[in-house]
Structures are given as C-alpha cells and as structure tokens.
Amino acid sequence: MSALQSAKRVLKYQIIRVGLEAVALSRLGRLMPAAAGRGVVFTLHHVRPETPSRFDPNAILAVTPAFLEQAIGVALTHGLTAVHLHDLPALLADPAETRKFVAFTLDDGYRNNAEFAAPVFRKFGVPYTIFVTSGFTARIRTIWWETAAALAGNGRSFRFDFGAGAEVVTTATVAERFAAFERLARLVQSIDEDEAVRRLDRAAAAHGIDADAIVADLVMAEDELRALAADPLVHFGAHTVTHVNLKRVTAARLEEEIADSTRAVEAMVGRRPRSFSYPYGWSSAVGDREIAATASAGFAVAVTTQPGVLPLGPLERPTGLHRVSLNGYYQKPRYVEALISGIPFRLMA
Ligand SMILES: [Zn+2]
C-alpha cells in the first residue's frame, strides 16, 4: 500500500514532467499564442540552495536561487513586463495597455526569501510580493507540514493518535515515511485543523521535536520583515493568521483571519497589504464565499494556487486569480517556457 502510494506520487510528477517536456519540444506556444493570455503570476515558497535528502515531502515547495534567476530570465526574454501583483487589475483593465505581464509572489514569509530571493529580484529590478502568515511571524502557530515531516522523518517509528487511540506508526523505510506524512496530512485536512495542529505539536514534543523552533528557524520575525520592507521592490501581502483552510472555517473565523492578518502585517511593516493569498489555494480551500470575503475586505486582488495564466480581457474575478507554481520538481528553464505558453493549462482543462 505505502509502496504503491509512493510509486503513484513519483509517477504523477513524471507524467507532468513529460507533459512539460512535450510542450517545450513541440513549440506549440508559437502556434497557439492566445493560450499564453496576458502573462502569468508565479507562486514560490522557499528559495534556498538544494539540500539533498531522500525524505523531503515538502521538496515541491523549494527552488534554488539559480532557478529563480533562470525563471526571471525566461519571463523577461519572452517579453513579459515584471509588475507588482496588486497593479495587475488596473493594468489589465486599461484598453491602451497592450503589454504582457509577470508578477512574482512568495507565500508564507520564509526567511530564505530575504536571504536568497531578494538579491535575485534586486539584480533584475523585479518587484515581488511576500504573503505573510502573521501567526507564523508572531510565533503563535506552528507549520503543520513541517512538524509532520519532522515527525515522520525522526526515527524508525512514532506514536500518534489518529482518532482511535495512540498507535505506533512505523517509519523505517523512506516509503513508510512518505506514507506516514501523507496520513498526517490527510488528518489535518479531515478533522478540525486547529485540533490537528495541536495533536501534531504534542506528538512532536513527545518525540523531542520542538515545532515552535521549526517556525522560528524558517519564518521571518517582525524585525526581519521590517528590515526587508526597506527594499523598494518588495510588497507584503496577507496570508491569514493561522494558515487554516478557509473553506473549512465559520464565516466569522474567515472574516477574522482576513482582517486580523491584514492589520498585523500593516502594523509590522507600516504598509497596508494590497493583496491576499489563500492558504493552500486549491479548490477545496478557496470557493465563492472566500473570493467574496477578500473582495469585501477591500482587496483589489487575491490569489489561489489553481493553475492558469492571466486572461486576455479584464479580470472578471480579481480576488480569485490563478497562479503558476514554480516548484522544486520542475526546475528547468524550458519548463518555465512551457508554463508561460499557457498550453499545459489548455491541455488540463
Ligand atoms: Zn501558504
């Protein structure tokens, strides 16, 4: 079962990679220029040098500074103009404007964004938006997918209560570790997310893992955000307080997560966030209610992680904008070219 799951996981990424190779090789983009729309909003998370590891269930979230540089190069070579995400609605609504655009966004507020990504953006004069999870910054919420990875990769087994009492989960092999991680991830997505995070934190502590220390190690603190705010190219957007799946919380909590994180980011960096990113961003985490909530909170633009390029006309749902992920599994300039062509999203539709 676990070996099959891990084979499926690998196969899924192989299939996408083959698809990207095919699109890159076929030069379909030249035949279907309309598929490229008006450009693209890119999603990034970690930007850091590669750390080789056989068990890294979050590897998809990290790219190298060298790849970021290549991706910017490809976007600029293809004639895209780099702009701030929050400027897109006005630019795309302007009938006199014919350019195509690229906007770079980085979710969660990782320290490596300041260390490794900011210098690359500076080198090219490219603006970028960092979506801050204010509860990570304030050290009041742990990052469950990091805690889960630490727990699953910790030793040969760990004890965890999935709901039917404590059980021993075996993690002797890499396949078992991936299976354990996936089981933990499924739990977070199925029970109350706050409760799942608490349970993970407790289990981690029982195995000598400090979930708070992981956050402190990975995420910028307030003074670091303030220091980075001196960069004229950066904008800080909001990404909720607790990184909870917004579709799974009450209307009151939804409103709170949006308003409180917006206020917190403004208090930290001295500028009100002009854009918002939905945690996880996939369709089971963002729907009509959430897209309406960020609009009524005053955001001109908010982004999902559902894949797609910018539409040719004005933005119909600017608070439900699609993005294209630049992720750890596809770090090749020709894949970026394939993504910019928009063809992969036509094929998926
Ligand atoms: Zn996030």
Write down the pLDDT at residue 3: 56
Q: Which residues of 4-21 are buried (b: 16+ CB within 10 A; e: fewer)?
A: eebeeeeeeeeebeebbe
**Spacing, Cα 73 to ligand 1 middle (Å):** 25
Q: Average the pLDDT over each of 14-23, 72-81, 178-187 and give the range with the smallest value.
A: 14-23
Pick the residue with more confidence: 68 or 35? 68
* Alpha-carbon Rg for the chain in angstroms: 20
Write down the pLDDT at residue 5: 62
Euclidean distance between CA atoms 153 and 149, whole angstroms: 6
Write down the pLDDT at residue 68: 96
Write down the pLDDT at residue 322: 95
**Spacing, Cα 255 to ligand 1 middle (Å):** 18
* Axis-axis angle for helices 2-26, 333-340 (nearest 10): 70
**Spacing, Cα 227 to ligand 1 middle (Å):** 22
Write down the pLDDT at residue 239: 98
**Spacing, Cα 87 to ligand 1 middle (Å):** 21
Write down the pLDDT at residue 9: 66
Query: Is the Cα dihedral 55, 58, 60, 66 positive or negative?
Result: negative
Query: Is the Cα dihedral 56, 62, 64, 70 positive or negative?
Result: positive
Q: What is the pLDDT of residues 265-293, one digit of tens each?
A: 999 999 999 999 999 999 999 999 999 99
Query: Is the Cα dihedral 212, 214, 217, 221 positive or negative?
Result: negative
The strand pair at 157-161 and 166-170 is best described as: antiparallel
**Spacing, Cα 240 to ligand 1 middle (Å):** 9
Share of the chain above pLDDT 70, in %: 94
**Spacing, Cα 33 to ligand 1 middle (Å):** 31
**Spacing, Cα 101 to ligand 1 middle (Å):** 23
Q: Taking the domains of the chain in order of start, what are their residue ranges?
A: 2-134+223-266+274-348, 144-213
Write down the pLDDT at residue 1: 42
**Spacing, Cα 25 to ligand 1 middle (Å):** 32
Phi/psi at 14 (nearest 5 deg)? Answer: -65, -45
pLDDT at 254 over 70: yes
**Spacing, Cα 242 to ligand 1 middle (Å):** 10
Write down the pLDDT at residue 25: 67
Euclidean distance between CA atoms 267 and 265, whole angstroms: 5
What CATH number has the domain spanning 2-134+223-266+274-348? 3.20.20.370
Q: What is the pLDDT of residues 8-60, one digit of tens each?
A: 666 677 767 777 777 776 766 676 777 778 999 999 999 999 887 889 999 88
Pick the residue with more confidence: 343 or 300? 300
Q: What angle do CA 214, 217, 221 make, to 5 degrees?
A: 115
Pick the residue with more confidence: 314 or 67? 67
**Spacing, Cα 247 to ligand 1 middle (Å):** 14
pLDDT at 207 over 50: yes
Give the mean pLDDT of 311-329: 90
Give the mean pLDDT of 123-138: 98
Write down the pLDDT at residue 340: 84
Closest to 149 (Cα-Cα) out of 198, 219, 211: 211
Q: Residues for the chain: how many in total?
A: 349
Share of the chain above pLDDT 90, in %: 77
